[in-house]
Each structure stands twice: as structure tokens, then as C-alpha cells.
């Protein structure tokens, strides 16, 4: 391998060159190529695992990192801290309260993922081409509308009816002077942007596009404290959210291009509570469409939902889950405190403290108290305008049969003659065509919303306005 000229440099002994070369080669092999894409499986339980993709790059001498939770459709979660020393890696993700500590060994990064007081072993390896192709395929959202549009799109701002803050939204409307019939889209639980963006799906953008092409104006807005809207989301009750709906209704009523007698509401999930709450006190609302909106009391919805989510996660005793969660929901309805709810959940064998704290905090909040106290009969019985209520029969968040059966009983006792209630086969909570309806399918399904559901909503409206 070596000739004499290589080994005799200014009297340097041959063995020294060999030692230096060995050291150099060893050092080269020890260098870790951090700046690449890595993938790993986070095993939550025997029944559930999540595919994670870690992106590490360098910019101006600094390491940057982001995380994709592929199965949840949560992409590009930024690392708030990246520390790399020799073969050790520390990442913090403040947005989701998580941390990863690992060590490079061979071709892998072996370590531990921390979140919510729990620890999970996690190993990352360089991402395979096969997984890249799989992610590219499942992250496709072919239904997402793309400009140019055959209608007008306007960025709008309007004031809250009671509080001193403004909402920001997008109004799509057909070309021409109008006045047009209009729909206000009302989002479900949690702070959501105007597109109701979930797992890279934008169902409200798609629904607005579909209805505007049919001749309707559609207003979709960022929730209070979200996106470009002002105000505070935390601590708001469902009744207070209904005044956000009223704010949008009042704003559209002032526009000369909108027919004030043809303004209606389309609410998804919790939006199927807040929209009817407003419509029940404002008879000028032209129509209400409930997409997986509630026909059962809040306590029953909560207990059933938690049971279904538990079974989907691999738990076996559905009755025990239901009984415990129903008791917790009834306590919340009676405005139980955080400590009282923690005490209840601590009676569960091997209960997870972090999960208990999260659930107790939610149920003891003003929102939790108001949601559990919700009685749909008191609200829906006041609706005299045309009503469309639909559920996917695979929905595990709002079970279709019990929900729609209850809704039918309520509406049969009213004088409202224009009520349409339908269970749609093979659809989940987002009205996607699904196999199980489980939440971990949402991101994997490329369809944002079933075309037949869009058609049903559009035809129901065009038959009336």
C-alpha cells in the first residue's frame, strides 16, 4: 500500500505515518452526517405506533431541525432547541411539549422520546426511498382548490358583536352584483384557521369552493385568537362561541352584495352546537346544516366518544371507559374543580398522571363545563328554518346512529317541516371515505371530503335558494 517516498518525509518514521493515517481514517468514519432526513417508529402501545420523520439541516453554521408525525398529518413541527455535541443529539419541541435525546451509533440515532411525562424508546435511521414515496403519496391532497378561480375571493375583517376585537376571514362569491345567498362556515373544537386545516386537509376551503361555484357566497374565518383573528380562545364557552357566529352573520347582513334574508350556517362537529345556539335566538337565519353536529347531550357525547377512542387505541373494556367518563362528564356539568376530577381519575388502576392532568384540565375549564351542560333538545326545538343534519356511519367522534336517532326524536316534536337527517355509509368524522373511521386514518386518506357529500349539501341548498 505504501511506497518509500510516502514513508520518508523529512525523516519521519514509517510507523508514524501509518499511525496518523489510521487515526485519520478512524476519525473520518466517526463523523456523523446529521444533515439528512431520518425516520423512526414511536411505539405508543402494542396497538398503536407513529411514523416520525426528522429533518436536520445546517444554515449559517447552525443546526436546524423539524419533525413530521406522518400518521397524524402533523408536518414541519419546528425544533425550538437543537444541540449536537460529538455523537450526542438533544432536540426540544416546545410547540408540542416534547424532547428527544439520542446518540449516534453506527448508522442509527438511538434514544428516548419524552412527552407528557412519558418516555418512549425511539431510534432513527436514514429515511428509505420507499418511505419517501409512501409519504409523498399519502400527503397528496388532490381536492385542494387551486387558483385561478371562476369566482371572486375577498379578504375581510369584521368586529365582534360584544367584545373589542376583530375577526379575519375570506369571503368567496360568484362574479356579478348579487345579492347572493350566503353560507357561514362554523368550525369544530379547538382553535382552527379559516380552512379548518387538519392533517394538511382543508375541508372548509374545499366546501367554500364547491358552494361558490354553485352560486353561493361563503364566509370562512379564523377562530378568535387564531391566524389573523384577534381575541382570546382559551376560556371561551360554547355559548360565547355562538356570539362569534352572530358577529359573522351581522357582518354579512350589512353587505349590499349579500341577500340578508338568505344567510345560513354550516357547522362541523362542535360547530354543530354553536351554529344552532345562535340560530335558536335569531329567526332570520335562513338555514342550518349540521355536519356531525350534536343531537345528544354533551355528557353522553363525551362518554361515548372517549369509549370509542379507547377501543380504537386497543383498550378492551368499553363499558368501564364509558361509565368512568360519563361520571366525569356529569361532574364537569356540575362545575367540578380540577382537583375533584383528578381524584376521580386516580381511582383508575395504573392511571397515567400526564393524561389525567390533561383530561381534568379540559373538563374543569369554562369550555368543559359549558359543553357537558349542553342539551340539544332545548336548542334544536327552536329551529324553524330548513335543517340538514348528516353523519358518517364510521364516525367514532360523534357516533351516527345514537346521534341521529336522538336528533330525529327532537325534530319530530317540532313544527319544522323542512328537516333532512341522513347517515352516510362508509364515511368518518371528516366525511372522508374510510375503512375504520379511526383518527389515525385521517392523514393517510388523500380525499379531503367525499364528493357525494359535497354534492348532497350543494343540491340541498340549490333546491331551497
Report whether 287 contacts 389 (CB < 8 A). Answer: no
What distance in Å separates the CA atoms of residue 349 and residue 154, rounded to the nearest whole number?
Answer: 54
Q: And the C-alpha cell for 90?
A: 438533544
- Quote the CA–CA distance of 100 and 119 in Å, as a whole number: 10
Do 183 and 252 contact (CB within 8 A), yes or no?
no
Euclidean distance between CA atoms 273 and 358, whole angstroms: 23
Edge-to-edge strand ranges of the sheet holding 62-69: 74-78, 62-69, 49-59, 37-43, 118-126, 108-115, 98-105, 88-93, 81-85
Contacts of 351 (CB under 8 A, 6+ apart): 345
Residues, the chain: 465
d(C-alpha 397, C-alpha 438), whole Å: 9
Give the pLDDT of residue 5: 38
Q: Residue 19: what pLDDT?
A: 39
Taking the CB of residue 295, how many other CB atoms lie within 10 A of it? 26
The whole-model pTM stands at 0.84
For position 31, what pLDDT does the model report? Answer: 55
pLDDT for residue 135: 85
Using DSSP's 3-state secondary structure scheme, residue 349 falls into coil
3 state SS for 162-227: CCCCEEEEEEEECCCCCCEEEEEEECCCCCCCCCCCECCECHHHHHHHHHHHCCCEEEEECCCCCC
Which stretches of the chain score pLDDT less than 50? Answer: 1-30
Phi, psi of 167 (to 5 degrees): -100, 155
Note the pLDDT of residue 47.
Answer: 63
Amino acid at each position: 500500500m505504501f511506497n518509500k517516498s510516502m514513508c520518508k518525509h523529512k525523516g519521519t518514521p514509517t510507523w508514524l505515518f501509518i499511525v496518523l493515517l489510521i487515526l485519520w481514517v478512524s476519525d473520518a468514519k466517526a463523523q456523523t452526517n446529521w444533515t439528512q432526513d431520518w425516520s423512526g417508529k414511536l411505539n405508543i402501545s402494542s396497538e398503536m405506533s407513529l411514523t416520525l420523520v426528522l429533518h436536520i439541516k445546517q444554515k449559517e453554521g447552525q443546526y436546524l431541525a423539524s419533525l413530521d408525525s406522518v400518521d397524524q398529518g402533523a408536518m414541519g413541527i419546528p425544533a425550538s432547541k437543537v444541540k449536537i455535541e460529538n455523537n450526542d443529539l438533544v432536540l426540544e419541541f416546545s410547540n408540542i411539549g416534547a424532547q428527544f435525546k439520542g446518540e449516534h451509533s453506527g448508522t442509527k440515532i438511538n434514544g428516548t422520546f419524552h412527552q407528557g411525562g412519558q418516555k418512549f424508546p425511539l431510534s432513527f435511521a436514514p429515511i428509505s426511498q420507499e418511505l419517501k414515496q409512501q409519504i409523498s403519496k399519502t400527503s397528496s391532497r388532490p381536492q385542494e382548490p387551486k387558483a385561478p378561480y371562476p369566482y371572486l375571493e375577498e379578504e375581510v375583517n369584521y368586529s365582534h358583536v360584544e367584545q373589542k376585537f376583530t375577526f379575519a376571514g375570506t369571503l368567496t362569491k360568484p362574479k356579478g352584483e348579487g345579492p347572493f345567498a350566503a353560507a357561514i362556515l362554523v368550525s369544530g373544537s379547538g382553535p382552527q384557521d379559516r380552512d379548518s386545516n387538519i392533517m394538511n386537509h382543508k375541508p372548509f376551503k374545499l366546501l367554500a369552493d364547491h358552494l361558490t361555484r354553485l352560486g353561493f357566497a361563503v364566509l370562512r374565518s379564523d377562530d378568535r385568537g387564531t391566524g389573523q383573528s384577534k381575541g382570546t380562545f382559551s376560556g371561551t364557552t360554547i355559548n360565547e362561541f355562538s356570539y362569534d357566529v352572530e358577529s359573522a352573520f351581522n357582518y354579512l347582513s350589512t353587505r349590499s352584495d349579500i341577500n340578508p334574508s338568505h344567510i345560513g350556517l354550516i357547522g362541523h362537529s362542535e360547530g354543530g352546537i354553536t351554529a344552532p345556539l345562535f340560530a335558536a335566538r335569531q329567526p332570520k337565519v335562513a338555514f342550518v346544516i349540521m355536519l356531525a353536529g350534536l343531537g345528544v347531550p354533551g355528557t353522553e357525547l363525551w362518554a361515548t366518544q372517549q369509549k370509542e377512542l379507547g377501543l380504537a387505541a386497543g383498550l378492551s373494556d368499553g363499558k368501564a371507559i364509558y361509565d368512568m367518563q360519563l361520571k366525569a362528564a356529569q361532574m364537569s356539568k356540575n362545575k367540578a374543580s380540577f382537583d375533584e376530577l383528578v381524584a376521580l381519575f386516580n381511582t383508575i388502576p395504573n392511571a397515567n398522571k400526564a393524561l389525567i392532568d390533561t383530561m381534568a384540565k379540559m373538563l374543569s375549564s369554562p369550555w368543559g363545563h359549558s359543553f357537558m351542560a349542553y342539551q340539544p333538545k332545548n336548542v334544536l326545538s327552536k329551529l324553524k328554518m330548513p335543517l340538514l343534519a348528516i353523519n358518517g356511519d364510521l364516525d367514532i367522534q360523534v357516533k351516527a346512529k345514537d346521534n341521529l336517532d336522538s336528533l330525529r326524536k327532537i325534530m319530530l316534536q317540532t313544527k319544522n317541516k323542512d328537516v333532512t337527517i341522513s347517515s352516510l355509509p362508509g364515511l368518518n368524522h371528516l366525511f372522508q371515505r374510510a375503512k375504520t373511521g379511526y383518527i389515525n386514518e385521517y392523514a393517510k386518506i388523500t380525499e379531503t371530503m367525499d364528493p357525494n357529500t359535497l354534492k348532497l349539501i350543494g343540491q340541498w341548498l340549490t333546491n331551497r335558494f
